[in-house]
Amino acid sequence: MTDDHLHVELVAADRTVWSGSATMVIARTTEGDVGVLRGHAPMLSLLTDAVVEIVRDDEDEVIIAAADGGFLSVAGDRISILSEHVVLSEDIDIDEARAELETARGLLPADEAERRLRRAEARIRAVEKAR
């Protein structure tokens, strides 16, 4: 990694999903979308169920993943994205995600339905963004 890049770790509860250098990370926190470039101020934020984008060094490749909430930590030029579940866009079965979305729409109680809706929508957006 050169001095003008970030070191990024995308970590699920059971494994490191992706690790490497990047020029930018975009994620959705409870306060809104955040873009992190080299030299960003230290921060710790709560993630929502949403898409995470990691722009690789060559800027032609973007790693796209769906994270089920969690935390975003920025310290120096190191970014850690920690979530119970993280799925790379290429590992998402779009038909399964759409079926989960339809199932969640009919669920009660509302709080469980909302969580499952956000998770399914994030996975669908991750696949669509990666296309």
**CATH classification at residue 24:** 2.60.15.10
Give pLDDT, residue 109.
66
Q: Is the pTM of this model over 0.95?
A: no
Q: In this prediction, what percent of the chain has a pLDDT beyond 90?
A: 63
DSSP label at residue 101? H
19 and 57 fall within a common domain: yes
pLDDT tier, 3 (very low <50, low <70, confident <90, very high otherwise): low
119 and 76 fall within a common domain: no
- DSSP string across 20-68: EEEEEEEEEETTEEEEEETTPPPEEEEEEEEEEEEEETTSS-EEEEEEE
Q: Are strands 62-75 and 43-56 parallel, antiparallel or unpaired?
A: antiparallel
Domain annotation covers residue 1: no
| Domains of the chain: total | 2
Query: Which domain, by its residues, includes 30?
Result: 6-88
d(CA 9, CA 25): 11
82 and 53 fall within a common domain: yes
108 and 76 fall within a common domain: no
The predicted-structure confidence for 43-93, as pLDDT tens digits, reads as follows: 999 999 889 999 997 767 899 999 999 999 999 999 999 999 999 999 999
